[in-house]
Amino acid sequence: MTFKKFIYSLDLNLRKLILYLSIFSVVSLFIVSLVMSYYIEKHELLHNALSVNAEYAAKIANSSGSHFKMMQKELAYSAEILGKNFNNQKYMQNEVDRLKYQSNYFNSVTISDKNGKFLSFAPLKLNFQKNKVIRSLGFKLSLEKQAPVISPPYYGTSKNLLIFISHPIFDEKHHYLGFIGATIYLKHDNILNKMLSSHYGYRHNYMYVVDQNKYILFHPDMNKIGQLSNINIQSLVGKNRGEIRLNDENGNEWLAGFARIPTTGWMVISQQPASELLKETSETVYEMLVGMLLFYILIFFVIWKISYLISSPLSLLANMASHLHKPDIEASIERVNPWFVEVRQFKSALLISSQHFKDTISKLKFYMHTDPLTHLYNRRGMGLSVAHFIETNIPFAIISIDIDYFKKINDTFGHDQGDVILKEIANHIRSNFRDEDICCRSGGEEFVVLAARLKLENAVNLAERLRQKIESTSMPLVGEVTISIGISHWPTTSQNIKTVFKRADECLYNAKADGRNCTRF
């Protein structure tokens, strides 16, 4: 109802309708274009950002893997030559100095015997005590595995958070002698910093590295090194590379690509905030908005001018189309001067329709709402009356009438005589009730009377009077005919009209069950 009131309040004519439709079409197209552009641009930017981060992470992971292979090869080479010179203290010191200062891969280099004792180290400023047994995690793993080791992060003897890379030393008979190990201090300048701190800096992108246990080994924020990584990163177990959208502890969304370093199993993550990309999307769409707005304003102006040219004659004819029942409408239509084909066709159709409307409207009303046999209202007419009573809040009784044993009358005397009985009963119903009461044939031998503004007890009296009248009247050829009646009342019985009709039917059924020729309510 509210929508209808709004439509009516616009007081639309054809000219306004064309104008409003033009506005609606232009605005709708503008909004849809804008929304689609935003979401397409957003999707493309996010997709591209995820792909770029994944590719960059893979590139850095491969590059880092190559560096770690080089580190392991250097340690392996040193381990091989130390196996031949393990008792030469000067040679060992020269070798750890070479590893420490030649490549600058390591923060410190140490040699240990098979019992975990320091034999040599560099730089000497560490001031470690030689021949002392070391119980650090890196030493423990190297001695236990007697194989190449890359440790998880831990705090070493130097009180630095570090990772330990080692290679076992065997003599020529493959007897285990000890190992050569090197450290990378995670919170100092190191090879990871040099490999990973350079980034392309687009939209606040940065990288960090986590080990197999998901502890952070490298991060631009030094305070995060050694901590557990984001819960989403921890879920990437078993994956070597890919893309992921994740949220940080503050709920901010990040677009990340990840790749595993083959030689160490560590994960390189390259990520950037989604908010920066969405900001870029908004800026792009805003630029589009300005251009599209000017374009659609131009389109609207053209449509408005065209609609004005075609609306005048169409508006006149459209107004006349709703007044075809008026006697002088043909003269008004003739006065319209059409200037294009559609208006001429519309004008001719209205003239024909006007005449045809007048010829058929009276017949249509009669046949639509009237039962052709009894000339009482049919179900359609009854429905319109019920709707009118309810809409205008007029109380009314529903008197449901059924001819007793009507099938037997049809079977005994034929359907023609049955039609005669139906007409006789209809005449009695019409004469028994008031002019304002709606008398209907609802189907077959069933009739319904809608008694407006009548209390239930008064409706019962009228119905009983009808029943007695028909009972005492001898019908042509058939003789005595009786009726059964069921009565309900709106809104006394119920506010729901379906329930009221159902109650009337139930009362009629009770009258039949009680032996017929009676009234129940």
DSSP, res 189:
S
Mean pLDDT of 81-110: 88
Task: Kindly state whether residues 430 and 410 are assigned to the same domain.
Answer: yes
CA–CA distance, 261 with 258 (Å, rounded to integer): 10
CA–CA distance, 307 with 303 (Å, rounded to integer): 6
Higher pLDDT, 157 or 388: 388
- List the one residue out of 291, 151, 139 whose CA is nearest residue 215: 151
Task: Kindly state whether residues 383 and 508 are assigned to the same domain.
Answer: yes
What is the percent of the chain with per-residue pLDDT over 70, rounded to a whole number? 84
Which secondary-structure segment (H or E) carries 119?
strand 118-122
Higher pLDDT, 464 or 370: 464
**pTM > 0.95:** no
Task: Note whether residue 374 is domain-resident.
Answer: no
Task: Kindly state whether residues 77 and 138 are assigned to the same domain.
Answer: yes
Entry field: residues in the chain: 521
Question: What are phi and psi for residue 108, nearest 5 degrees?
Answer: -155, 155
- Which of 184, 218, 252 is the C-terminal boundary of a domain? 184
- The owner of tokens 């880092």 is 64
Most confident of 38-52, 92-106, 203-217, 502-516: 502-516
Task: Kindly state whether residues 404 and 304 are assigned to the same domain.
Answer: no
Task: Kindly state whether residues 147 and 233 are assigned to the same domain.
Answer: no
Q: Which of 63-77, 200-214, 462-476 has the lowest mean pLDDT?
A: 200-214
Task: Note whether residue 142 is domain-resident.
Answer: yes
Mean pLDDT of 180-209: 73
Most confident of 204-218, 230-244, 364-378, 405-419: 405-419
Question: What are phi and psi for residue 90, nearest 5 degrees?
Answer: -65, -40
Task: Note whether residue 99 is domain-resident.
Answer: yes
Q: Which of 3-12, 117-126, 178-187, 501-510 has the lowest mean pLDDT?
A: 3-12
Task: Note whether residue 479 is domain-resident.
Answer: yes
Contacts of 69 (CB under 8 A, 6+ apart): 263
Task: Kindly state whether residues 361 and 388 are assigned to the same domain.
Answer: no
| Residue 359: band (very low, low, confident or very high) from pLDDT cuts 50, 70, 90 | low
Instruction: Report the pLDDT value the prediction gives residue 365, as an integer from 0 to 100.
Output: 63
DSSP, res 204:
G
- Number of domains composing the chain: 5
| Residue 510: band (very low, low, confident or very high) from pLDDT cuts 50, 70, 90 | very high
For position 214, which CATH number holds? 3.30.450.20
Does the pLDDT value for residue 322 go beyond 70?
no
Question: Coil, strand or helix: which one is 370?
Answer: strand
Task: Kindly state whether residues 73 and 97 are assigned to the same domain.
Answer: yes
Q: Which of 333-347, 404-418, 433-447, 487-501 has the lowest mean pLDDT?
A: 333-347
Q: Which of 119-128, 194-203, 413-422 has the lowest mean pLDDT?
A: 194-203
Instruction: Report the pLDDT value the prediction gives residue 370, as an integer from 0 to 100.
Output: 84
Beta bridge partners of 247: 253
Task: Kindly state whether residues 447 and 404 are assigned to the same domain.
Answer: yes
Does the pLDDT value for residue 168 go beyond 90?
yes
The 10s digit of each residue's pLDDT in 20-40 is 777 777 777 778 777 787 777
Task: Kindly state whether residues 464 and 416 are assigned to the same domain.
Answer: yes
Mean pLDDT of 495-520: 93
Task: Note whether residue 131 is domain-resident.
Answer: yes
Task: Kindly state whether residues 205 and 126 are assigned to the same domain.
Answer: no
Task: Note whether residue 51 is domain-resident.
Answer: no
Higher pLDDT, 447 or 261: 447
Does the pLDDT value for residue 164 go beyond 60?
yes
Which secondary-structure segment (H or E) carries 229?
none
Instruction: Report the pLDDT value the prediction gives residue 229, as an integer from 0 to 100.
Output: 78
CA–CA distance, 253 with 240 (Å, rounded to integer): 22
CA–CA distance, 51 with 395 (Å, rounded to integer): 73
Does the pLDDT value for residue 352 go beyond 90?
no
Task: Note whether residue 59 is domain-resident.
Answer: no
For position 442, which CATH number holds? 3.30.70.270
Instruction: Report the pLDDT value the prediction gives residue 21, as an integer from 0 to 100.
Output: 74
Which secondary-structure segment (H or E) carries 170?
strand 161-170
User: How many CB atoms within 10 Å of residue 285?
Assistant: 18
Task: Note whether residue 61 is domain-resident.
Answer: no
Instruction: Report the pLDDT value the prediction gives residue 4, as an integer from 0 to 100.
Output: 63
Instruction: Report the pLDDT value the prediction gives residue 199, as an integer from 0 to 100.
Output: 47
Task: Kindly state whether residues 152 and 172 are assigned to the same domain.
Answer: yes
| Residue 15: band (very low, low, confident or very high) from pLDDT cuts 50, 70, 90 | low
| Residue 279: band (very low, low, confident or very high) from pLDDT cuts 50, 70, 90 | confident
Which range of residues forms the domain containing residue 12?
2-41+282-314
Task: Kindly state whether residues 386 and 515 are assigned to the same domain.
Answer: yes
Instruction: Report the pLDDT value the prediction gives residue 339, as an integer from 0 to 100.
Output: 66
Amino acid at site 290: V
